[in-house]
């Protein structure tokens, strides 16, 4: 079976790294896999090692400052995308085309209507959080009629059920993390990484790894640091690894909060160094009222770090963040609860170590991508 993922960019990110690991496992199961992309990035070479890569020439979605420009942009995007995807799927005999965001799902549905390729959506996050405007009009977009199935976890699939998508199309994928790339390092190596970043050995390191954007949870990490300072705790460093459009705002927020002296902003880190940087951290938070997964906490768990997140109304984090191996705080007043948890753990290195050991073991035993790939193949076959 030829399975093609359509995702625009190959920059570092949760959806991208998830897709790479799925490609690897699907190929190991004997399937042909492809990544259809619009622009390259640091993950392109690895994508080519696991399968085929094919670039289509596309404008950025919704580009333009004015209404007319955006209308023209959307029309060009849909026409160019449908034509190029259709050509590729026909020529390469793609059996299943998997899209992630709604604009590209519109293209996938059009391709399915004109070819023997079936279209699926591979959900990487909550549509209520990242695409609320699309979710509100989903029933009128014509996507669902030509979409054979949806891959995700129960909470994000339930969002689609609420707008009329049949639950018969849902395929639940278990949470997964790449334990070959993310794993604990010996203590002396962790200390060496900290030293290379100018971080003292005797401080608590609170970390963020990922894109710095307005809609990401990096701001919750800064809010946490503000509260720690207000509670009289200053023996910490913030370590930010990642870049993005909002990096200037990050610098401004840190300056306004008086946290520049306590912060290391590393920018984009080479992919092969991500595990070392994660290991330099003690606590890795993902803080918002209702988080949905997050590669940052899954990778922290695999690296034997203390992952800290929120047990929101959807209860997604409960599926893989267990009390014996990570820390979940209640949604109501979550920043205050998170502050309490950090202060407690700051004074108890043995508890941090125990959580870290249990986390790494849980990742190895329960969060394999092989299980996720097998569930995906089973879903594609069932939804023929």
pLDDT at position 84: 97
Range of the domain at 217: 187-366
Q: Does residue 271 surpass a pLDDT of 90?
A: no
The percentage of the chain sitting over the pLDDT mark of 90, rounded to a whole number, equals 84
Residue 182 lies in a domain: no
Averaged pLDDT for residues 304-309: 98
Asked whether residue 36 carries a pLDDT value surpassing 70, the answer given is yes
CATH of the domain at 242: 3.40.50.2000
What is the average per-residue pLDDT within 171-176? 94
Q: Map residue 61 onto helix, strand or coil.
A: coil
Across the range 177-200, mean pLDDT stands at 95
Same domain? For 64 and 108 the reply is yes
259 plus 295 within the same structural domain: yes
- 11-23 per-position pLDDT tens digit: 877 889 899 999 9
Alpha helices in 231-333, H assignment, sequence order: 247-256, 274-279, 295-302
- Compute the distance between CA of residue 345 and CA of residue 113 in angstroms, rounded to an integer: 55
Q: In the predicted model, what is the mean pLDDT of residues 81-92? A: 97
**For the segment 361-370, what is each residue's pLDDT rounded down to a tens digit?**
999 999 999 9
- Under 8 Å between Cβ of 35 and 65: no
The 10s digit of each residue's pLDDT in 64-80 is 667 778 888 889 999 99
Check residue 64 and give its pLDDT.
Answer: 67
**Mean pLDDT score across all residues of the chain:** 94
Distances (CA, A) of 100 to 121, 253, 254: 6, 31, 33
Q: What are phi and psi for residue 136, nearest 5 degrees?
A: -60, -35
The answer to whether residues 73 and 63 touch, using CB atoms and an 8 Å cutoff, is: yes
Do the Cβ atoms of 44 and 63 come closer than 8 Å?
A: no
Residues 222 and 82 in one domain: no
**Residues 57, 118 within the same domain:** yes
In a domain, 181, yes or no: no
The count of structural domains within the chain is 2
Look at residue 104 and tell me whether its pLDDT is greater than 80.
yes
Same domain? For 277 and 168 the reply is no
DSSP string covering 155-208, please? HHHHHHHTTT--GGGEEEPPP---TTTS-PPPHHHHHHHHHHTT--TTSEEEEE
| Span 282-302, average pLDDT | 95
pLDDT band with cut points at 50, 70 and 90 for residue 61: confident
Rounded mean pLDDT of 27-33? 97
Q: Are residues 293 and 348 in the same domain?
A: yes
CA–CA separation, 99 and 115 (whole Å): 16
Which pLDDT belongs to residue 65? Answer: 63
In the predicted structure, residue 164 carries a pLDDT above the cut 70: yes
Could you tell me if 264 and 219 lie in one domain?
yes
Same domain, 200 and 275: yes
324/375 same-domain check = no
Residue identified by tokens 């790494």 is 360
Same domain, 140 and 284: no
Same domain, 67 and 154: yes
Statement: residue 201 has pLDDT above 80: yes
Please determine, for residue 380, whether its predicted confidence score (pLDDT) is greater than 80: yes
Give the model's confidence band at 111: pLDDT under 50 very low, under 70 low, under 90 confident, else very high.
very high
Residue 257 has pLDDT above 70, yes or no: yes
User: What does the buried/exposed string (b/e) look like for 302-335 if buried means 16 or more CB atoms within 10 Å of the residue's CB?
Assistant: bbbbbbbbbbbebebbeebbeeebbbbbebeebb
In angstroms, the CA 82 to CA 119 distance is 13
């Amino acid at each position: 079976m030829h399975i093609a993922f359509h995702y625009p960019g190959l920059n570092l990110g949760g959806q991208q790294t998830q897709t790479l690991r799925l490609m690897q496992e699907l190929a190991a199961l004997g399937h042909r896999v492809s990544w259809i992309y619009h622009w390259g990035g640091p993950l392109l070479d690895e994508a080519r090692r696991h399968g085929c890569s094919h670039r289509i020439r596309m404008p950025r979605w919704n580009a333009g400052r004015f209404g007319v420009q955006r209308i023209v942009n959307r029309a060009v995007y849909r026409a160019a995308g449908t034509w190029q995807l259709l050509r590729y799927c026909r020529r390469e005999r793609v059996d299943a085309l998997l899209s992630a965001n709604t604009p590209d799902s519109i293209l996938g549905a059009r391709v399915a209507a004109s070819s023997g390729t079936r279209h699926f959506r591979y959900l990487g996050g909550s549509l209520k959080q990242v695409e609320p405007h699309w979710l509100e009009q989903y029933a009128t977009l014509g996507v669902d009629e030509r979409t054979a199935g949806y891959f995700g976890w129960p909470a994000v699939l339930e969002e689609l059920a609420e707008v009329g998508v049949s639950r018969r199309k849902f395929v639940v994928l278990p949470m997964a993390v790449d334990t070959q790339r993310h794993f604990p390092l010996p203590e002396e190596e962790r200390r060496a990484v900290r030293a290379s970043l100018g971080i003292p050995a005797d401080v608590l390191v609170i970390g963020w790894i990922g894109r710095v954007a307005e809609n990401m949870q990096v701001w919750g990490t800064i809010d946490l640091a503000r509260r720690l300072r207000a509670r009289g705790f200053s023996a910490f460093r913030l370590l930010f690894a990642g870049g993005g459009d909002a990096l200037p705002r990050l610098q401004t927020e840190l300056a306004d909060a008086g946290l520049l002296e306590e912060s290391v902003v590393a920018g984009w880190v080479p992919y092969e160094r991500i595990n070392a940087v994660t290991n330099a951290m003690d606590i890795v938070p993902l803080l918002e009222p209702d988080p949905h997964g997050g590669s940052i906490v899954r990778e922290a768990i695999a690296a034997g770090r203390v992952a800290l997140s929120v047990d929101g109304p959807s209860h997604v984090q409960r599926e893989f963040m267990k009390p014996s191996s990570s820390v979940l705080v209640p949604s109501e007043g979550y920043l205050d609860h998170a502050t309490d948890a950090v202060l407690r753990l700051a004074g108890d290195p043995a508890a941090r170590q125990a959580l870290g050991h249990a986390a790494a073991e849980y990742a190895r035993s329960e969060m394999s991508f092989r299980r996720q790939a097998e569930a995906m193949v089973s879903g594609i076959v069932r939804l023929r």
